[in-house]
Amino acid sequence: MMMSLVDYLNITIELLPYQGSRSVDQKSLTVIAATLAKDKTTSANAKVESLLARTSDPKTKQCLESCGSVYEDLLSDLNTSILAIKEDRPVNAKTYLSIAMDALDTCEDGFKELNVLLPLNKEDSDLTQMCTIALAFTNMLG
The predicted-structure confidence for 63-82, as pLDDT tens digits, reads as follows 999 999 999 999 999 999 99
* pLDDT computed for residue 16 by the predictor: 56
Domain count, the chain: 1
Query: Are the C-beta atoms of 85 and 27 separated by less than 8 Å?
Result: yes
Q: Is residue 14 part of a domain?
A: no
| Whether pLDDT at 22 is above 90 | no
CA 102, distance to chain mean position in Å, is 10
| Domain range enclosing 33 | 24-141
CATH number, position 126: 1.20.140.40
| Whether pLDDT at 100 is above 50 | yes
Q: Is residue 13 part of a domain?
A: no
Q: Look up residue 74 and give its DSSP letter.
A: H
Query: What number is the average pLDDT over the span 122-127?
Result: 88
Query: What number is the average pLDDT over the span 105-125?
Result: 86
Q: Is residue 52 part of a domain?
A: yes
Measured CA angle at 134 (ends 95, 21), to 5 deg:
140
